[in-house]
Amino acid sequence: MDKNNSSENQEQEEQVVNPWEVSAKGKIDYDKLIEKFGCQRLDQSIIDRVARLTGRPPHVFLRRAVFFAHRDFNEILDAYERGEKFYLYTGRGPSSEALHLGHLVPFMFTKYLQDAFKVPLVIQLTDDEKCMWKNLTVEESQRLARENAKDIIACGFDASKTFIFSDFDYVGGSFYKNMVKIAKCVTYNKVVGIFGFTGEDHIGKVSFPPVQAAPSFPSSFPHLFTGMDNLRCLIPCAIDQDPYFRMTRDVAPRLGYHKPALIESLFFPALQGETGKMSASDPNSAIYVTDSGKDIKNKINKYAFSGGQDSVENHRKYGANLEVDIPIKYLGFFLEDDAELEYIRTEYGAGRMLTGEVKKRLTEILTEMVERHRRARAAVTDEMVDAFMAVRPLPNMFR
Amino acid sequence: MDNNISSENQEQEEQVVNPWEVSAKGKIDYDKLIEKFGCQRLDQSIIDRVAHLTGRPPHVFLRRGVFFAHRDFNEILDAYERGEKFYLYTGRGPSSEALHLGHLVPFMFTKYLQDAFKVPLVIQLTDDEKCMWKNLTVEESQRLARENAKDIIACGFDVSKTFIFSDFDYVGGSFYKNMVKIAKCVTYNKVVGIFGFTGEDHIGKVSFPPVQAAPSFPSSFPHLFAGKHNLRCLIPCAIDQDPYFRMTRDVAPRLGYHKPALIESLFFPALQGETGKMSASDPNSAIYVTDSGKDIKNKINKYAFSGGQDSVENHRKYGANLEVDIPIKYLGFFLEDDVELEHIRTEYGAGCMLTGEVKKRLTEILTEMVERHRRARAAVTDEMVDAFMAVRPLPNMFS
């Protein structure tokens, strides 16, 4: 995202979206973002195509346009129809132990993609990035990476098809060779334009983008994809990661590689509303996977921004403002039943259903989700983490 | 070296010395260089101290002022006197197969240091650097690294005390962790000041300095130096490498590491004179380790710049200009016998000895040297290269 300082652009630059900053005056304008970034909307025809090709209903995040934009997803589907497989690549920057629901979104969707298309997956834990940006020690960022791996594994990935790696463990060999090849193709001016680095930034930051680009190319994983240089890559991620992969797609043809395809999600809204920021320092801005049922009920009731009217009388008269109501938005993410969601939206929008009911339903859903996650995570042992992170071939990765 | 383009500095900036460019109007002024870089002259007292501590005569390169500058070499000797060992670190950028005599100088000296002090040695082959700067493919730079390793091994290093590594093979793990720690401590502005990078340079170049810095810290080699965090490092190198290690020494205390010490050499003069440039594209600018006795004789006779007078008569009258005479300079490097060298200098300087005699003696010495090297290199097998490059402990490295 160009951080162009000319005054002309500053008027247009009401919103800033890059891997380290997401902010806007008011809500994020996703239409403008798609236009500025140059990616495509995910339309209904693609969603129908996915359902047809995978023989199962499309994931709730597709139906509700949580994943709403893409680059070359059609080409992935074209190739898949021809019998050509692909692999998935997603990641996490392990900056804290506390994961919230927004962090789970890309992993929930990626698990669906793995199951639906029966393809392998690599997951990058960018402990080096967090060490560099968050001023963590090497040891601390590695520790966080392993802790986060447990939450990721708890999302239900198939160990026979999934390779999780931390940069501090894995960078080297073929991966490092690709980092160098990529770095040769990107000037300093270019990364300034894409990421907004300045002369006072340390060179670790400048050298990082190739690290996040490298997993887009199958030759970075010789233990998995030797001899499969033509294997395509699909990257599910939040749209703030787009700059890394715009850069990568620009470089790929010069290295004789396929451009990675992307499928991108909106930002998960903070409890206090779309204009708020989820922040690790404000525990009431998000629902964490470590929250108890009581915490969840309390946070939803007290902090979830309501689009309902200020009195029951007004609410029955005017109905709720669905555009700003956070519980409705959260239900959009996590209530799988389209019919029930439509019902709630209609009733609440007309004022026949009250805020309390909506929040109660949401609390039920989130509590069940968080408790399932917590049980799954408690069952993840260090041995399982080692298994997912072992550098090993995945002989059944396309079954 | 600041490539500062202000006009005030341009007057002072008659000479440019950095890892990618060495040039001057006329000869290099080493006094100015030492002053500008901020390193120290190696004086006779240090040389005497070395002889005293090692129980053997100091190397010809010390006696002749070839290695003439240092940083903290006294501290290395202080520690050594207290019974504290150190390790050696030197390297080569494998940009070509053809090594010339100038390339051998740091390796000849490093072998002496290894034998005299009985210390281990790591040798870095910066194939990633050459891939990035010389636009070689990864495979080609790796191949050159292995070929150059054979010439290096032919210099006679002790395999039980020497670890040779190429970056493309070795970067990763603890080494990569140190690269990241170092990179965090150096801003982009700083590397611009030290190395002269510009916005049009690719980010591979910007990210490279930490790669050359990392071997200065023992924790980069856990298979060698685990638990020896206090082990000091001494870096023999040509003085154009000083910028890398100025940067490294600046960073070291912030990481809780010892600053590496340096012992630095002059530049090896080109055959055609101090103001000339040795260039791989001009085979007559240097003596190569692949030259035959006939080539050497021919090159010395035809191309070695002579400080002798233009006629025998004038020569007998005025004597030779020893300051510019290349054969005399080369003898300074490679004729070990101080007495003989002094005799030649006196006689030639007085005009009693002719250029032809000097060149003949030089040819003898170089031919013997190059033939010894060629025999040694022919005896280096791929298995020996693998042995030197294997990641293995060196249990006898201080014996």
Q: What is the Cα–Cα distance from A12 to A242, expressed in whole angstroms?
A: 19
Model confidence band, residue B13 (pLDDT cutoffs 50, 70, 90): low
**Across chain A, what does the average pLDDT equal?**
94
Exposure string over B91-124, b if 16+ CB within 10 A, otherwise e: bbbbbbebbbbbbbbbbbbbbbbbbbbebbbbbb
pLDDT (0 to 100) of residue A13 = 61
pLDDT (0 to 100) of residue B91 = 97
Model confidence band, residue B26 (pLDDT cutoffs 50, 70, 90): confident
Contacts for B255 with CB less than 8 Å, ≥ 6 apart: B178, B181, B182, B185, B217
Evaluate if residue B5 carries a pLDDT over 50.
no
**ipTM given for this complex:** 0.93
SS3 B293: helix
On whether the CB atoms of residues B163 and B388 are closer than 8 A, the answer is yes
Q: What is the Cα–Cα distance from B201 to A206, expressed in whole angstroms?
A: 12
Which residues of A are less than 8 Å from B171 in CB distance? 171-172, 176
Q: In what order do the strands lie in the sheet with A232-238?
A: A40-41, A67-71, A261-265, A232-238, A86-92, A121-125, A162-166
pLDDT (0 to 100) of residue B279 = 73
Secondary structure in 3-state letters for B314-369: HHHHHCCCCCCCHHHHHHHHHCCCHHHHHHHHHHHHHCCCCHHHHHHHHHHHHHHH
Q: How many CB atoms lie within 10 A of CB A313?
A: 10
Q: pTM of the predicted model, to two decimals? A: 0.94
Q: For B45-67, what is each residue's pLDDT tens digit?
A: 999 999 999 999 999 999 999 99
On whether the CB atoms of residues B393 and B314 are closer than 8 A, the answer is no
Evaluate if residue B9 carries a pLDDT over 50.
no
Write out the DSSP string of B56-90: SPPPHHHHTTSEEEEESHHHHHHHHHTT--EEEEE
Tell if the CB–CB gap between B204 and A198 is shorter than 8 Å: no
Using CA atoms, how far residue B361 sits from B17, B272, B303, B365, in Å, is 32, 18, 16, 6
Which residues of B are less than 8 Å from A128 in CB distance? 176, 180
SS3 B4: coil
Which residues of A are less than 8 Å from B192 in CB distance? 199
pLDDT (0 to 100) of residue B4 = 42
Nearest chain B residue (CA) to A142: B177
Nearest chain A residue (CA) to B188: A199
Mutation for B interface: A174, A177, A194, most B CBs within 10 A: A177
pLDDT (0 to 100) of residue A22 = 83
Nearest chain B residue (CA) to A204: B183
Q: Which of B6, B57, B78, B68 is nearest to B258 (CA)?
A: B78
Tokens of residue B335, six digits: 């004729």
User: Residue B384 burial by CB count (10 A; 0-12/13-18/19+): exposed, middle or buried?
Assistant: middle
Tell if the CB–CB gap between A199 and B186 is shorter than 8 Å: no
Measured in angstroms, the CA of A186 and the nearest CA of chain B are apart by 5
Q: For A132-187, what is each residue's pLDDT tens digit?
A: 999 899 999 999 999 999 999 999 999 999 999 999 999 999 999 999 999 999 99
Evaluate if residue B11 carries a pLDDT over 50.
no
Which residues of A are less than 8 Å from B187 in CB distance? 199-203
**Range with lowest mean pLDDT among A39-53, A351-365, B10-24, B295-309:** B10-24
Q: For B110-137, what is each residue's pLDDT tens digit?
A: 999 999 999 999 999 999 999 999 989 9
On whether the CB atoms of residues B17 and B33 are closer than 8 A, the answer is yes
Nearest chain B residue (CA) to A192: B199
Q: For A212-244, what is each residue's pLDDT tens digit?
A: 999 999 999 999 999 999 999 999 999 999 999
Tell if the CB–CB gap between A202 and B184 is shorter than 8 Å: yes
Measured in angstroms, the CA of B124 and the nearest CA of chain A are apart by 15
Tell if the CB–CB gap between B197 and A177 is shorter than 8 Å: no
Backbone angles phi and psi of A139, in degrees to 5: -65, -40
Out of A128, A131, A187, the one facing B199 most closely (by C-beta) is A187
The mean pLDDT of B378-384, rounded to a whole number, is: 98
**Across chain B, what does the average pLDDT equal?**
94
Exposure string over A338-373, b if 16+ CB within 10 A, otherwise e: eeebeebbebbbebebbbeebbebbbebbbebbeeb
- The residue to which tokens 């497989």 are assigned: A85
The DSSP symbol for A199 reads: T
E strands, chain A, are 15-18, 21-24, 40-41, 67-71, 86-92, 121-125, 162-166, 232-238, 261-265
Mutation for A interface: B135, B180, B211, most A CBs within 10 A: B180
SS3 A208: coil
pLDDT (0 to 100) of residue B1 = 40
Evaluate if residue A7 carries a pLDDT over 70.
no
How many residue pairs bridge chain A and chain B with CB atoms within 8 Å of each other?
A: 116
Out of B180, B189, B198, the one facing A204 most closely (by C-beta) is B180
Residues of A with a Cβ under 8 Å from any B Cβ are 128, 131-132, 135, 138, 168-173, 176-177, 180-181, 183-189, 191-192, 197-204, 206-207, 209-210
Q: Which of A101, A148, A144 is nearest to A123 (CA)?
A: A148
Which residues of A are less than 8 Å from B135 in CB distance? 184
Out of A176, A188, A201, the one facing B187 most closely (by C-beta) is A201
SS3 A392: coil
Model confidence band, residue B179 (pLDDT cutoffs 50, 70, 90): very high
Nearest chain A residue (CA) to B180: A204
pLDDT (0 to 100) of residue B116 = 98
Looking at chain B, the whole-number percentage of residues with pLDDT higher than 70 is 96
Write out the DSSP string of A43-96: -HHHHHHHHHHHTSPPPHHHHTTSEEEEESHHHHHHHHHTT--EEEEEEE----
Contacts for B291 with CB less than 8 Å, ≥ 6 apart: B299, B370
Out of A132, A168, A191, the one facing B176 most closely (by C-beta) is A168
Contacts for B261 with CB less than 8 Å, ≥ 6 apart: B70, B71, B72, B73, B75, B76, B86, B232, B233, B234, B235
Which residues of B are less than 8 Å from A131 in CB distance? 180, 184
Tell if the CB–CB gap between A207 and B206 is shorter than 8 Å: yes
Nearest chain B residue (CA) to A141: B177
Nearest chain A residue (CA) to B206: A203
Nearest chain A residue (CA) to B178: A138
Q: What is the Cα–Cα distance from B351 to B338, expressed in whole angstroms?
A: 20
Handedness of CA B354, B356, B359, B360 (dihedral sign): negative
pLDDT (0 to 100) of residue A161 = 97
Mutation for A interface: B177, B205, B250, most A CBs within 10 A: B177
The mean pLDDT of A95-124, rounded to a whole number, is: 95
Measured in angstroms, the CA of B138 and the nearest CA of chain A are apart by 7
Tell if the CB–CB gap between A188 and B203 is shorter than 8 Å: yes
pLDDT (0 to 100) of residue B126 = 98
Q: Which of B289, B272, B268 is nearest to B99 (CA)?
A: B289
Q: Which of A55, A57, A54 is nearest to A76 (CA)?
A: A54
